[in-house]
Amino acid sequence: MATFEKGILGGFSGKVGTVIGSTWKGIDVMRSKPRKTDRVPSEKQLDQQYKFALMGQFVQIVAGFVQVGFKGYQKGQSAYNSAMGYNLKNAIVGTSPDFEIDFSKTLVSRGDLPPAMNADATSAASGMVKFTWDDNQNVGKAKATDQAMVLIVCPDNLSCIYSTASTSRDNMNATMNASDYAGKDVECWLAFITEDGKEVSNSVHCGSIKVMA
C-alpha cells in the first residue's frame, strides 16, 4: 500500500500498481517495479556482476574515505557511485573467472589539486606505518597548508583506518598507528585536501607493505 505525504499531488511512498514511490536525498522519485524473468544471465553478464561485487566490497570498506575523496568529482552522482564507476572501469584486471583488483590502479580520491610526489609507505616500527613524500608546494595549486589524507586497507581483515587531515603537505611525512594490522599485509594510499576542504588531489597508491609485528 502506498502512502501520500503531501496529498494527491505530492510524493508517495510504497507501491501503486507497477510503480514504486520513494525518496532519494529529499527528492520524491518513482521507478518501475522490477519484472520477474526466467532468463539465464549470459557469461558477460555474470562477469559484470562478479566485477561489481568485487569492487563494491572494496569501495564499501573505504566508503568513509571516498566520501571525502570523491565528494565533488561528478555533479549529480554520489561519491560512492563515482568511486565505483572509475574503479570498475580502470582497476579490475584478469580474465574470467579470475578477476582481481589491481590496487596500484585504484583511486580513492579524485580531483584537480596536485597529487603527492614520490609518495611511499614503510613500516619500520611495530604497528606503525609511515608515509613520506616530496614537498611540491607552489606547483600548480599546491600549497604548504594542504592536508595529507592517508588510508591503510587490510584485505585480510576487510577493514581500513584513515585520516583526512593528518599533517600538512610541507611536513613531508605522516605516521599512522596500525597496531591492529601488525604482522599483516596492507595497501596504502595518500592524497591531499585543501585547508578549507573544498579541493582534493588524485590519490597515490604508496604500495603493498607488511606492518611490522
Domains of the chain as residue ranges with CATH: 3-32 (no CATH), 43-210 (2.60.40.10)
Crossing angle of helices 79-90/43-61, nearest 10°?
130
pTM of this prediction?
A: 0.81
Beta strands in the chain (DSSP E): 3-4, 12-16, 19-24, 27-32, 92-93, 100-101, 117-125, 128-134, 147-154, 159-163, 173-177, 185-193, 204-210
Nearest to 117 by CA among 189, 207, 204, 208: 204
What would the mean pLDDT of 34-62 be, rounded to a whole number? 86
Count of C-beta atoms within a 10 Å radius of residue 152? 25
* pLDDT for 13 beyond 70: no
> Can you tell me whether residue 64 is helix, strand or coil?
helix
Per-residue pLDDT at 72 = 81
Per-residue pLDDT at 30 = 52
Distance spanning both ends of the chain, measured CA to CA: 57
Nearest to 180 by CA among 213, 208, 155: 213
pLDDT band at 126 (very low <50, low <70, confident <90, very high): very high
Nearest to 106 by CA among 2, 46, 1, 187: 187
Count of C-beta atoms within a 10 Å radius of residue 61? 17
Query: Which of 36-40, 67-71, 107-111, 120-124 has the lowest average pLDDT?
Result: 36-40
Per-residue pLDDT at 11 = 47
pLDDT band at 32 (very low <50, low <70, confident <90, very high): low
* pLDDT for 124 beyond 70: yes
Sign of the four-CA dihedral 50, 86, 119, 173: negative
Per-residue pLDDT at 73 = 80
Preceding omega of 34 cis (within 30 degrees of 0): no
What would the mean pLDDT of 40-58 be, rounded to a whole number? 91
8-state DSSP, 198: S
* pLDDT for 155 beyond 80: yes
- CA–CA separation, 63 and 67 (whole Å): 6
pLDDT band at 2 (very low <50, low <70, confident <90, very high): very low
> Can you tell me whether residue 174 is helix, strand or coil?
strand
Please state, for a pLDDT cut of 90, what percent of the chain lies above it: 75
* pLDDT for 102 beyond 90: yes
Of residues 22 and 98, more confidently modeled:
98
Query: Which of 42-51, 70-79, 86-95, 171-180 has the lowest average pLDDT?
Result: 70-79
User: What's the mean pLDDT when you consider all of the chain?
Assistant: 88
